[in-house]
Amino acid sequence: MKDLHTLTYLNKKISLPIIHNLQMNIIVEENPFNLPVEDFFKMAARINKKRAFLFVSKLLGKHIPIEPKKGLLTGFMLATRYEEIITGTISPQREEIMAIYRESDLHFFDKPFISSDQVNPIIIGFAETATALGHSFFRAFEQAAFFHTTRENVNELIPIITFEEEHSHATSHRCYVEEDILDNNREIILVDDELTTGKTAINIIRDIHRKYPREKYTVVSILDWRSKEWQLEMKSLERELQIIIQVVSLLKGSFELAGDQINMVSHAESIERNVEEPLIEFISLKNYVKERIVPITSSSLAGNRIEYGYLKDTGRFAIHTDEVTDVWIRSAANELKKKRVGTTLCIGTGEFMYIPMKLASYMGENTYYQSTTRSPIYPNNEEHYGAKTAFCFSNPEDVDIVNYLYNIKANQYDDIFVFFERKVSRERLTELLAELSTAQVKKINIVYCSGR
């Protein structure tokens, strides 16, 4: 039976406050899992002249801390919806997945359920926000390939495709995979957290199709806010290229920004720095991942070479379902669990989201997860708002890039685990550690996978 409380929102205007007199008016047109709208996001103001607002997801584990299970489960909810669209029937997984979503004490095991007889797609997650979402979605398939786009410059490789995301704070996407992964007629599924215009998806479909044409694409996103005009743009692309484009989402509707748009500027928060310094421990997972390292290096925008290789299991250079293993992740998580001292926050870094989220999911109760981000959001300590606090620091992996962490309050956690794909120097961690110290935790653990 459908949730009548949720259904009352369909096709009715909902007004959501942002900041001052700025507000977002939305109309929900489709909500296939009948989730309350407040389960999806909170609103916030961006420090970005291209777009003054942000739908701050409560499902991704990017800006708002979540139970790691919820982030993994969101990918499976989208996969369930995808299965329903391609089969035209209710997925057998729907009831179980929704029960796990509603009951926090039920465990989630991401075992594949979409058979290879139905589909064998290539799944692409968009950096940086949807790398974990795309990876989790991929785990629902018995047979598929997965990779995610990246903003990084990889020394030894030339990107096979590049495209632009005009409204983003960092616009350029690169894809570093072997040509044979795209040189075929398999369905391509693009996974993002939100569609506002769909232009990013249109850009990458054009670029792929110019080099590796095929018959079918699917665009998967938690939110689909495309206007009728932008929906027609995608239909026009279908006709132009003579292809099929499906769109899958958990919430579809339209939005309108109302009120005076303010040019929000970054400001330094008044944070008490006279706090007790936490214990800091450096933890290497190299003994768990030594067979999983890709010996490719990169350079930052500042030209600083990073000597340590990437982790194969992220999917940056593509992975296939027959290569997936959780054995080392479970073993490493058991070791990390022993180092916990209470309520724990696990922090992924930039595009490195899925592996930290997965590790956090095995580290026991009262473990929460979120990630650093490039997105500058104006902090505002109101209950409805999506970024109540903000930490700002140089990205330890590329000091020319500013990173942020949101919604971390003092005395909220007992310990913090920060996960890096590759080892970084203590010197480059100075700003991040200074910010995290104001959270007044007992211990900060810096965890890295690759490096001596």
Rounded Cα gap, residues 162 and 169, in angstroms: 16
The pLDDT value recorded for residue 105 is 85
The pLDDT value recorded for residue 409 is 96
Same domain, 86 and 226: yes
In a domain, 117, yes or no: yes
In a domain, 14, yes or no: no
Find the domain containing 347 and state its range. 279-450
Same domain, 151 and 200: yes
Same domain, 250 and 284: no
Query: Given phi > 0 = left and psi -120 to 50 = alpha, else beta, which region is 269?
Result: beta
In a domain, 287, yes or no: yes
Running along the chain, 452 residues long, what does each successive block of 10 average in pLDDT?
Answer: 53 92 95 95 88 94 97 98 95 95 89 93 95 98 96 79 60 84 97 94 92 97 97 98 98 93 60 75 94 74 64 93 91 98 97 97 97 95 96 93 96 98 93 96 96 68
Rounded to 10°, the helix 199-211/228-241 angle is: 10
In a domain, 17, yes or no: no
pTM for this entry: 0.93
Rounded Cα gap, residues 319 and 294, in angstroms: 12
Judge whether 132 and 60 are in contact, CB under 8 Å. yes
Best CA proximity match to 444, nearest among 330, 369, 339, 337: 339
Give the chain's domain count: 2
H or E stretch at 106: none
Same domain, 110 and 241: yes
Same domain, 345 and 296: yes
In a domain, 3, yes or no: no
Q: What is the CATH number of the domain that holds 177?
A: 3.40.50.2020
3-state secondary structure 161-201: EEEECCCCCCCEEEECCCHHHCCCCCCEEEEEEEECCCHHH
Rounded Cα gap, residues 137 and 130, in angstroms: 10
Rounded Cα gap, residues 129 and 127, in angstroms: 5
Same domain, 249 and 288: no
Give the end of a domain, one of 193, 222, 255.
Answer: 255
Same domain, 76 and 201: yes
Same domain, 287 and 320: yes
H or E stretch at 43: strand 41-45
Give the end of a domain, one of 255, 290, 306.
Answer: 255
Best CA proximity match to 120, nearest among 249, 237, 243, 214: 214
Rounded Cα gap, residues 68 and 42, in angstroms: 18
Query: Given phi > 0 = left and psi -120 to 50 = alpha, else beta, which region is 181?
Result: alpha
3-state helix, strand, coil in the chain (%, to 5): 25, 30, 45
In a domain, 9, yes or no: no
| Residues whose CB falls within 8 Å of the CB of residue 103, separated by 6 or more in sequence, listed in order | none
**Residues 324, 177, 173, 26: what is their CA dihedral angle, to the nearest 10 degrees?**
-40
In a domain, 269, yes or no: no
- In angstroms, what CA-CA distances link 407 with 277, 312, 346, 413? 20, 31, 13, 12
Same domain, 250 and 283: no
Residue in the structure block whose two tokens are 């620091």: 393
In a domain, 301, yes or no: yes
Same domain, 142 and 202: yes
Same domain, 192 and 320: no
Give the end of a domain, one of 192, 220, 255.
Answer: 255
Same domain, 245 and 335: no
Rounded Cα gap, residues 181 and 202, in angstroms: 20
